[in-house]
Amino acid sequence: MTGDTYVGAVDQGTTGTRFMVFDHGGQVIANAYEKHEQFYPEPGWVEHDPMEIWENTKSVITTALGKAGISPDQLEAIGVTNQRETTLLWDAESGRPVHNAIVWQDRRTTDRVEQLEEDDLVDTIRAKTGLEADAYFSATKAEWLLDNADPIKMERARPADIQDRAAEGEVLFGTIDTWLIYNLTGNHITEVTNASRTMLYNIHDLEWDDELLEEFDIPEAMLPEVRPSSDDETYGSTDPEGFLEAEIPVAGALGDQQAALFGQTCFDAGEAKNTYGTGSFFLMNTGDEAVESDHGLLTTIGFQRSGQPVQYALEGAIFVTGAAIEWLEDMSLIDNPAQTAELARSVDSTDGVYVVPAFTGLGAPHWDQRARGTIVGMTRGTRREHVVRATLESIAYQTRDVAEAMEADSGIEMADLKVDGGAVKNNYLCQLQSDIIGSEIVRPEVDETTALGSAYAAGLAVGYWEDIEGLRDNWQIDREFEPEMDRDEADKKYSRWSDAVERSLDWARDGGSE
């Protein structure tokens, strides 16, 4: 491979970290992956160890390059994509986190969000950030960390010292992209898509919002500089004395769902994709207009290239889809995810069973933090096959919830939906999704579009790819799925799903699980 050059992408996800190397045709040349530990210190709390994530990042980069026989100096650039909203603080002097990262799924700040609702701040937050007031986003997580991080971890004596040092810029805030860029380059930088998920960034003025920083008592001095998603100036370069022993520009970053939008080449208004991962995230490009949602969707930043206007998107965030398959495994209903299609096909229907996987509340379009996982319609004849099939169907129904809201807000009827993520390898699910949503489902050849999107962003910034038309030429269809189910039947099943969702709402209150 001597003489050949490539672009690498760090894809830091909720359950693990991947490094992929792409060639000029957008094909995968190298790939390595490592899981990291999930910590659940209390019910509804989810944490990650940022140092474990950084060590795994170094490991997967060196492993992937080694397996493919690629030297680091053959990388023209590195892109970063990441689990969004997951939040950490670290000591600028030592580079050590002051606490575990609080993961996007974490619900510990639910009470704080309800206080925002009581204080009539929901509309203000939505107007400035495009987001619903929710524990999902970074602002209340950062506030909690400033109030509760252990000063011993900072080798400081006074509890108040964290807040004081944050005000001096000696304690730094970041989402996972910021943490990785910091460790790769030494620079404290984020980019617009990740900034737009913090509930601290004004997506219209394109700057950190003073009123929101004051509300959450977050000093501006601790915040990263916000850059374009594909940055001609780059975010910095790796240290030639560091683990790669090479100086490689880090030139692009996107939150994972926006990275998938970019990787699916949804560059024009009206183009949409759905990524099936731990959760599912449905994004539609709305161009340079920030479309306000009347149907429970988020208005967010889709991407920005250097010197160009921000491209906005509507987003429907579904908290649990792939994680529902993991739950089936945890409950010993399946031995591995590949079994789900076989078990689902072995029965004609769910026999009236509906699974609502609201394990961490419900996202778009319902936004109920206190909804909880629910199974309804069971009889003595219910078997595991029915529950497995109902769990797969729940993924399709939740996607239709968002698709209908998307069409209502945008006024655009979707002709097709580009899909990616681990679950789309399941042909049964793809066909089911097409049947329930009533649209064509298009699966690309390279389904790791999250990593591909961040590679594209970095490669465009350094001229590895000349323009976005070349990226469109790279995009190839693997398979298309057309609706086969009768529309009346699909509508009837979907109506019953809505009844099941109603049963799950507002459960985790006094007398509930929390």
Give dist(CA 194, CA 482) in Å, integer. Answer: 34
Write a three-state SS string for 347-371: CCCCCCCEEECCECEECCCCCECCC
Does the annotation list 236 as a binding residue?
A: no
Does the annotation list 136 as a binding residue?
A: yes
Per-residue pLDDT, 510: 55
Does the annotation list 255 as a binding residue?
A: no
Does the annotation list 63 as a binding residue?
A: no
Contacting residues for 214 by C-beta, under 8 A, at least 6 apart: none
pTM recorded for the entire structure: 0.84
For residues 335 and 481, is the Cβ–Cβ distance under 8 A?
no
Give dist(CA 51, CA 182) in Å, integer. Answer: 13
Does the annotation list 257 as a binding residue?
A: yes
Per-residue pLDDT, 512: 45
For residues 99 and 153, is the Cβ–Cβ distance under 8 A?
yes
Does the annotation list 512 as a binding residue?
A: no
CA 132 to chain centre: 16
Residues across the chain:
514
| Averaged confidence pLDDT in the chain | 92
Q: How far is CA 264 from CA 62, 231, 450, 473, 508, in A?
A: 27, 19, 9, 11, 37
Tell me the DSSP string of 147-193: HH--GGGGT-S-TTHHHHHHHTTSEEEEEHHHHHHHHHHS--EEEHH
Does the annotation list 360 as a binding residue?
A: no
Does the annotation list 85 as a binding residue?
A: yes
Contacting residues for 463 by C-beta, under 8 A, at least 6 apart: none
Q: Give pLDDT < 70 ranges for the chain.
A: 1-3, 150-160, 415, 510-514
Please, what is the angle between helix 256-263 and helix 449-461, to 10°?
80
First to last CA, the chain: 57
CA 62 to chain centre: 25
Does the annotation list 426 as a binding residue?
A: yes
Selection from 40, 2, 34 nearest residue 15 by Cα: 34
φ, ψ for residue 67, nearest 5 deg: -60, -35
Does the annotation list 256 as a binding residue?
A: yes
DSSP code, position 424: G
Per-residue pLDDT, 412: 77
Per-residue pLDDT, 152: 47
Give dist(CA 343, CA 350) in Å, integer. Answer: 11
Per-residue pLDDT, 436: 95
Per-residue pLDDT, 511: 46
